[in-house]
Chains A and B, each alone.
Chain A
Amino acid sequence: MPESLIAIGDALPYLLRGSLVTLIVVVGAMGLGLVLGVPLAVGQVYGHPALRRLIAVYVWFFRGIPLLVLLFLFYFGPCTAFDINLAAFTVAIIVLGLISSAYQSQIFRGAILSLPEGQFKAARALGMSDLKAISVIILPQALRLSIPGWSNEYSILLKDSAVTYALGVAEIMARAHFVATRTYQQLPLYFAAGVIFLVLTWMGTKGLRLLEEKVRIPGYSTHGL
């Protein structure tokens, strides 16, 4: 299939620039999800019952509505209503980030709850405020335990980011589709897109695995029993 190889070769630089867009969207969304997810998790574990319910509704909302629906809602909703001119790219990061914050909050919540109760107790017994005990004792441990779940979240976000092509974000999928419809080389181009996604998934999960090993607490194994 020399023709298809040529098609892939021709489109590759264009597709790779798309993978940069994909990566920025994914990293941005993960970052936003982290920044929002940590306080959400802390609020859900240690917060006032009213706050916990509020957070539960937030999580339900962002986990319950399909990504595509949320993308359109945000793109045509607030942006049009308030005449905010947000690029599709920005909307993609915000929407994916909000959804990810809901999922990440549950990763962190599970990690916090898996720590022995005595950690928080001992911190308070030293005279730490709840907030200090959480930031100094609980989160450093909980975030370490969250890395495997985070790796999951990364690979899901990476694949979900392909959906933002519906808004016209020039990521991998949008570019593959664009070239494919022009050249009629659908199969090779979507194949190339799939391979790029596979490589990006591998790189990300590998990177997080290295991070997990790097921040490992001496005396604990990350390799199973």
Chain B
Amino acid sequence: MAAPILRIENISKRYGKKDVLQGASLEVNKGDLKILIGPSGAGKSTLLQCINFLVKPDEGRIWLDEQEVHYAHKRDLYAYRQKVGMIFQDFNLFDHLNALENVRIGMVKVKGMGKAEAGERAVMELERVGLGDHMQKYPAQLSGGQKQRVSIARALAMDPKVMLLDEPTSALDPELVGEVHAVIRDLGNNGMTMIMATHQIGFASSLASEIIFMEDGRILERGTPDKIFNHAENARTREFCSKITELYGER
């Protein structure tokens, strides 16, 4: 068994007196798709943001490719973040740049690639997410689903080893969810390693290598989709799964 590509050990985070994360640990192998589920406030988003240090954990250590990340060293941190792509619930496209420039800017300003070369790669990534016809459009001219696909292309252009997806379809109209799911499914089929928080358990159960149920900043239970959705040991897990199945339909 190969060593995990990403190892997270005992991550904790407090805001004032509130413990939002209490010692979360996770091992992610290459090609895994880990799905985080749990009620809002469970700490899913904080965990994802701690993984690329957008939120600085109070405790805990992280290894990427068996190299510990020394996030206090700015240079190491910036290099690490390039390898960990982040997809946000509300897209966070750069509003003053068109789709092509959004995808290109990281390559040019962070990796130091030439504009032409980066431009070609950006075109490729946008075509890959089905936006070849919308490259000159600005975020305000794109639909939610298109915006999220641009943001996926923007992350992919950096050649990430792991992608973190923080409820990528929660801000979308129901009819736009499918196009984003298709792109994520495609990524998974091509072997991308991903950790995703979502409430779309139908999608989750069909793709996930492991489901992780979180509540109150803790990982309460983890296992295969079948185990978590059908034979969960923890009463809270069962309760949550049945509620969310009602909301988001049959799996």
Which stretch in A32-40, A91-99, A105-113, A116-124 binds the other chain? Answer: A116-124
Given the contacts A118-B88, A219-B138, A127 and B82 also touching, CB distance less than 8 Å: yes
Q: Are A127 and B79 in contact (CB under 8 A)?
A: yes
Q: Contacts A122-B86, A219-B139, A220-B140 known; A128 to B92 CB distance under 8 Å?
A: no
**B78 an interface residue at 8 Å Cβ cutoff?**
yes
Q: A144 — which chain B residues lie within 8 A by C-beta?
A: 96
A interface residues, how many (CB within 8 angstroms): 22
Q: Are B158 and A127 in contact (CB under 8 A)?
A: yes
Question: Of the candidates B81, B90, B137, B140, which one forms a contact with A126 in the assembled complex, judged by CB atoms under 8 Å apart?
Answer: B81
Interface contact A122-B88, CB-CB below 8 Å: yes
B245 to chain A, nearest CB (A): 31
A126 touches B92 (CB 8 A): no
A87: interface (CB < 8 Å): no
B81, B85, B90: the one contacting A124 at CB < 8 Å is: B81
The answer, yes or no, to whether B149 is at the interface (CB within 8 Å) is no
Is B78 a contact of A127 with CB atoms below 8 Å? yes
In the bound complex, CA of A128 to CA of B92 (Å): 15
**Residue A211, interface by CB 8 Å:** no
Which residues of chain A come closer than 8 Å to B96, judged between CB atoms?
A: 140-141, 144, 217
B140 CB contacts on chain A under 8 angstroms: 217-220
A182 to chain B, nearest CB (A): 54
- Report B-chain residues with C-beta under 8 Å of the C-beta of A126: 81-82, 105-106, 110, 154, 158
B52 at the interface (CB under 8 A from A): yes
Contacts of A137 in B (CB 8 A): 94, 105
- Knowing A119-B95, A218-B141, A219-B138, the reply to whether A129 touches B90 (Cβ < 8 A) is no
Tell me if A129 and B78 are in contact (CB < 8 A): yes
Complex CA–CA separation, A122 to B109 (angstroms): 14
**Does A79 sit at the interface, judged by CB under 8 A?**
no
From A118, A125, A220, give the contact of B81 (CB < 8 A): A125
Which residues does chain A contribute within 8 Å of B158, judged by CB atoms?
126-127
Cross-chain contact B54 with A125 (CB below 8 angstroms): yes
Q: What string of 1s and 0s marks CB contacts (under 8 Å) between B135-160 and chain A?
A: 00111110000000001001000100
A188-225 residues at the B interface, CB under 8 angstroms: 217-220
Q: Complex formed: what's the CA distance from A218 to B142 in Å?
A: 11
Please list the residues of chain B having a beta carbon within 8 angstroms of any beta carbon in chain A.
52, 54, 74, 78-82, 85-86, 88, 90-96, 98, 105-106, 109-110, 137-141, 151, 154, 158
State the A residues within 8 Å of B (CB): 116, 118-119, 121-129, 132, 136-137, 140-141, 144, 217-220
Mind listing 18 A-B residue pairs with CB under 8 Å? A118-B90, A121-B88, A121-B92, A124-B81, A126-B82, A126-B105, A127-B81, A128-B106, A128-B109, A128-B110, A129-B74, A132-B109, A136-B105, A141-B95, A141-B96, A217-B138, A218-B140, A219-B140
